[in-house]
Amino acid sequence: MTPKDAFVLGVVEGLTEFLPVSSTGHLILTAHLLGIPHSEFTKSFEIAIQLGSILAVVFLFADRLLRDRETWKRIAVAFVPTGAVGFALYRLIKDHLIGNDLVVVISLFLGGIVLILADRYCERFCYLRDVNDMSLKKAFVVGIFQSLAVVPGVSRSGATIVGGMLMGLSRRSAAEFSFILAVPTMLAATSYDLFRTGSAFSREEWGLLALGFGIAFATAFLTVRFFLRFLDKHGFVIFGVYRMVVSLLYGAVFLF
């Protein structure tokens, strides 16, 4: 991997982490297009730079994260199933799921259909305008949805947004909960992965991680602001259609 590759992957991560289109799927696809071998370092890089995107959320939602205890209760409850699944299946995810093109193609396509259906459901049944209007029980269910994102191509943000809408959150509130729930989730995932593999990285590889991290942060900071404004006028259907189109192109190029 070159610095140019790290820069491009950082931009892709920042653009896609909070959109319901699967940042992991896009990173895998981009690595293919750039001719980057899917080594142990590449897999860790794709996990670690997500933390750069998450740091952007910390800046954008700092007031809520620092002051709102009710929101943290819901974050904590929702993190439980995600953390349990992630730690239990870490080796399976790293060895067999990340980098599996067929899994990504199927997940992108089916996830697009689910996102469109959930958006239509939300038009009639979403009535909660704030994250704290959601019960702790419902927050736990959203966490179960998030745990499905251990499968590449599902999309962590997509899964939590769908879960939030099915629990009654408005589109914007579901997106905001998805953003802030990413903070402990990705912090835990990145810290655990670097603890397991970081000692094997060279100084050059740590430099590439730092570059990708910084670019992902800057790109995500701008993307989140745009995404929330977009949701005020539009729904998620366009993202569902996009996922299906990308999955078909992905499959045509790399599977057939």
Per-residue model confidence (pLDDT) at position 49: 85
* Farthest-apart Cα atoms in the chain, separation: 53
pLDDT in tens, 7-54: 999 999 999 888 888 887 788 888 888 888 877 788 788 878 888 888
Residues 6+ apart with CB under 8 A from 237: 115, 116, 119, 120
Per-residue model confidence (pLDDT) at position 174: 92
Residues 6+ apart with CB under 8 A from 55: 217
pLDDT in tens, 94-140: 565 666 678 888 888 999 999 999 999 998 888 898 999 999 999 99
Q: Is the dihedral angle over the CA atoms 94, 95, 96, 101 positive or is it negative?
A: positive
Length of the chain: 256
Q: Is the dihedral angle over the CA atoms 147, 223, 46, 187 positive or is it negative?
A: negative
3-state helix/strand/coil string of the chain: CCHHHHHHHHHHHHHHCCCCCCHHHHHHHHHHHHCCCCCHHHHHHHHHCHHHHHHHHHHHCHHHHHHCHHHHHHHHHHHHHHHHHHHHCHHHHHHHHCCCHHHHHHHHHHHHHHHHHHHHHHHHHCCECCHHHCCHHHHHHHHHHHHHHHCCCCCHHHHHHHHHHHCCECHHHHHHHHHHHHHHHHHHHHHHHHHHHHHHCCHHHHHHHHHHHHHHHHHHHHHHHHHHHHHCCCCCHHHHHHHHHHHHHHHHHHCC
Residue carrying the six token digits 């999309």: 155
Higher pLDDT, 146 or 187: 146
Residue from 192, 193, 160 nearest 81 by CA = 160
**pTM higher than 0.85 for the full model?**
no
Residue from 29, 7, 5, 73 nearest 216 by CA = 7
Higher pLDDT, 145 or 150: 145
